[in-house]
Chain A
Amino acid sequence: MKTYIETKANGIVSPKSGSSQRALYDHQKRAIANLDIINRNSSYSTLIVLPTGGGKTYTAAVWLLRNAIDRKKKILWIAHRQTLLDQAAETFQSYAYSEVIPSISSFRYRVISGAPEHDRTIDIDKKDDLLIISKDSIGRNLGALDKWLEGEKEIFFIIDEAHHSTAKTYRKVIDYVKGKVSNVKLIGLTATPFRTAESEQGLLAKIYTDGVENGVFIHNDKGITYQISLKELINRQILSQPIIESYNTGEDYARFIGAKDLEMIQRLDILPEDLADDMVNNAARNKFIVEKYVQNKKKYGQTIVFALNVVHAIALCSLFNHYGIKAGYVVSSVKDVTTGVTRSREDNVKVFQEYREGKIQVLVNVNILTEGVDLPKTQSVFLTRPTVSKILMTQMIGRALRGEKAGGTKSAYIVSFIDDGLDKISWSNPETIFEGNNDFADTNSEYEKRDIRLIAILKIEEFAKMLNDSVDTRELEKIPFTQRIPIGMYAFTYLEENGMDISYQVMVYNSTKEAYEQLMDNLPALFKEYGNDEEYLSANKLSEMAEQCRSTFFLGEMIPPYDEKDIINILKYYAQYEAAPTFYTFDDLDKSKIDVCAIAKQIVDQKMDSTIQAEYIRRLWNDGDNNIVRLFFGRIKYFYDQIDKEVLRITAPYIYEDDEDNVVYGRRQFENMSLYEIGRVNPDYEKALRNAAFDKAKTADGQYACASCGNKYPNRIMLQVDHIVPMNRGGKTKIDNLQILCRRCNGEKGDKPEDMQ
């Protein structure tokens, strides 16, 4: 009886005989030549930038097989997603030909992550030649590398999706490995140096310092050994020329999208379940998609269809077959709900083969074809699901882009299916992938639309609350609409522990601008004070730090106010990247298009009656330049409501004045309330009390002294306001009972008055 099962998590790979049928393209050869140049140095840190479809993993693996594996040098390969780990392992196995590893009889690999199908760090064997590990698995247990690295003088260290490598864990691993091995050859692989805060701040450049230019090694200046753009690959016909088409399905999905859904889609690219279900089960929509192919089957030729989920893939596939188009589907290993048969990897391989041989015309999949499988004859891709992810969009498109010189087609049709009612979301679209000189550069108008959408998603809550009588929004309504439009945003992305990318925007108003600037300046001091070294902070720690930020910077009346959720996300980002997020100004945004104050003035000045007014508003709604009005307000009722409030500001300004009090209520003195409680009812008074307490603690040299230990601090972020006699012992919230303590002294004191310590 067998007492084991086979696992693909580790194994010994022997060289395949002969050489690979897959020839290297010119750009891959250039990348390899430049890697050869940089590899003459005993250690280096560099980036290889190849777009999706450019064969990034393949190029790196082929080069490493020859230069590391064949020379018995160890490779440490790190990525943040499990699928990337599998893909790397498969690439090394697939191209391990004796031509590239002539000197060895075999090599040993191991894949490590938290996934059940992978090994754990405890399984690491000194004899492993290739270690492919998830970032978090190794980040939590760096010591597991010790034995494996012992005695090594040189190691090849690869970071996949290297634009994430500014994250703390990556930096920790890099430093650790560099501390153990004298010669570390660090190579970061990325599809594109994304327009992210961290790259703009040059953090990537601090990690990747070496490169090659004009065949010469450059140290400490240029961090890239080789890069090529998507556009250049198209020009060279390595990738085919994209022809972008879109069809409107006529389906309206507005009713499926609530405010939270918008946030979910924009931040995580997850479609609401009921929306996805409807798209999947919508016979008319599916028929529309299939009929578009049937009507143009000569033009579209061999086509890959990206479906929403497995059920959708199966449904579309059977519909194609119903229309006489030979179609197959490939999905991850799942049970086919219609046939009850479990699809295996072998089934998928068979379908791929039939597609390559032209026996089937249409190949339907969910998103397993985004990378890794070679299907050169693909003439078109059908995108039946919308996505906000540029990466996913690029990967989907990448499937059809195999150019003539790469054995593919001259041009490729990128066909997307657009539904109504979803225009509030900043979807990624094929056009933007190819626009501009930079692969991912958007046009100004696209930027503007994206900014408007991002603002709008956050404004919906405000609009909805203003419509609802149960929420008192009078204070907010006192502020003219134009001042309720953010002046800019902090935009950043970070990784959750599960490897998911979180894209977050913090909107900044005139009212909160200064507070945010102070917070950003003081983030290093805050993290130093809280002694935090973790990449993922606990909920308690986050909440404690957020309160410290509030009581230091966000004091006083702020309308519009700040949101604690925003502070928490900034803290999460900083914990990971140790850098303040970048601020993007909305100065260039033409706010006149959404200026309801001006619209209201026009209505009043022109003495419009309600019918003419409604026609005017409908015109703005329907004919607004680039639909900015619709994008911003989302629902016409919100638009009407905001206009009404501004009209009232002109015709009945007294409405916004404070009401006359006709009841004399009982009083609760501020001195009997905590600072926090005071802040909730009178933020300005809380601010004054805190400022007065800090003034008392100010030293001659402009610093602040802790009243207990006497230590001096340059700024407030490390200090807290304390009641000398605690409130639960009768102490009052009055300036003569307030003092400044450092966090440690305050923690030690607890609620004991000074004379009891």
Chain B
Amino acid sequence: MTDYLYTPLELAIIIRYHKMNAADYTEMLHNIFRYDNARLAPGYQHDERKLMLDVMDKLNYLSDRRRYESEQEEIARDMADFGLSVDTAKSEVQYTCSHLVFKDLRLRITYININRYAKIKLRTLLNQLGYKRRSSRIMEYIFECLWVYGILATYDGVKYCDLESIHLDETIVFKVVTE
């Protein structure tokens, strides 16, 4: 189940995608820490400073990947010189990002979009997940994720939308269920 939780790399990818500046993303991270704490990966639920610094580190990594990787050996050497073990979890950059589309969706609705909702066509959502049309398997996955991330599909913000029956080009208004 931990792959449903937010990792620093995933948060960094989302922040980068939305071109957020430092003030905005630290505010978002602060809110995630306060209100979405249970959705943070283990190790981050009790340490806000670590969360912020690790997300920033991943942002730097994503922006300067080549140089970051080229320095790994040298930094490991520095650490060894001072009797410090290399923090493998932190230096491990080959994370598998899971459920990123829905993680992003929840953050957009909750913290990024002013309107507190997100409008997406079902076709676009399927495309983002790598599919062209509905199948029972993908729909099962979508429902599971919507449930896990507390997201509700509506037509207009109020009326429930049945994703299995609507037209692919129909716009869905996603909201977060108030917990």
Contacts and interface: CB of A to CB of B under 8 A. Distances in A.
B70 to A, nearest CB: 9
Given A609-B21, A614-B63, A635 B75 contact: yes
Interface stretch (A49-57, A158-166, A468-476, A551-559): A468-476
B74 A464 contact: no
A618 B48 contact: no
B93 interface: no
Contacts of A650: 22
A259 B12 CA distance: 30
Contacts of B56: 640, 644, 647-648
Interface in B60-99: 60, 62-64, 67-68, 71, 73-75, 77-82, 84-87, 90
B59 A610 contact: yes
Interface of A: 254-255, 257-261, 460-461, 463-465, 467-471, 474, 603-604, 607-611, 613-615, 617-618, 635-637, 640-641, 644-645, 647-648, 650-652, 655
B23 A604 contact: yes
A655 B48 contact: yes
A271 to B, nearest CB: 15
Nearest to A610: B59
Contacts of A468: 79, 84-87
A646 to B, nearest CB: 10
Contacts of B119: none
B21 A608 contact: yes
Contact of A464 (B22, B27, B30, B82): B82
A645 B57 CA distance: 10
B62 A610 contact: yes
A611 B63 contact: yes
Contact of B87 (A260, A469, A613): A469
Contact of B84 (A471, A648, A652): A471
Interface string B15-58: 11001111100110010000000000000000011101100110
A471 B53 CA distance: 15
Contact of B53 (A254, A464, A648): A648
Contact of B71 (A603, A635, A647): A635
A614 B62 CA distance: 9
Contacts of A460: 78
Interface centre among B48, B78, B82 (most CB of A within 10 A): B78
A259 B60 contact: no
A470 B86 CA distance: 9
Contacts of A611: 16, 19, 63
Chain A residues touching B, majority SS: helix
Contacts of B30: 652
Given A469-B50, A644-B56, A255 B73 contact: yes
Q: Which 8 A-B pairs have the closest CB atoms?
A: A614-B63, A258-B77, A260-B81, A651-B26, A644-B56, A609-B19, A607-B21, A640-B60
Contacts of B22: 603-604, 607-608, 613, 647, 650-651
A644 B62 contact: no
Contact of B64 (A474, A636, A641, A644): A636
Contacts of B52: 648, 652, 655
B78 A258 contact: yes
Contacts of A613: 22, 59, 63
A257 B76 CA distance: 11
A134 B21 CA distance: 66
Interface of B: 12, 15-16, 19-23, 26-27, 30, 48-50, 52-53, 56-57, 59-60, 62-64, 67-68, 71, 73-75, 77-82, 84-87, 90
Contacts of B75: 464, 467, 635, 637
B74 A258 contact: yes
A644 B74 contact: no
Given A611-B16, A635-B71, A635-B78, 17 more contacts: A261-B81, A464-B81, A464-B82, A467-B75, A468-B86, A471-B84, A604-B21, A610-B15, A610-B63, A636-B71, A637-B68, A640-B56, A640-B64, A644-B56, A647-B56, A648-B56, A651-B26
B64 A607 contact: no
A644 B63 CA distance: 14
B152 to A, nearest CB: 30
Contacts of B48: 655
A255 B82 contact: no
A463 B79 CA distance: 10
A258 B80 contact: yes
Nearest to B76: A258
Contacts of A618: 64
Contact of A635 (B12, B27, B74, B84): B74
A607 B26 CA distance: 12
A259 B19 CA distance: 36
B48 to A, nearest CB: 6
Nearest to B54: A469
Contacts of A464: 75, 78-79, 81-82, 84
B16 A610 contact: yes
Nearest to B29: A652
Contacts of A467: 75, 79, 87
Nearest to B24: A607
12 contacts: A464-B84, A470-B84, A604-B23, A607-B21, A618-B64, A641-B53, A644-B53, A644-B57, A645-B53, A648-B53, A651-B27, A655-B48
A473 B112 CA distance: 32
Given A464-B84, A644-B56, A655-B52, A609 B20 contact: yes
A556 B83 CA distance: 27
Contacts of A258: 74, 77-78, 80-81
Contact of A254 (B60, B74, B81): B74
Contacts of A474: 49
B74 A255 contact: yes
Contacts of A636: 64, 67-68, 71
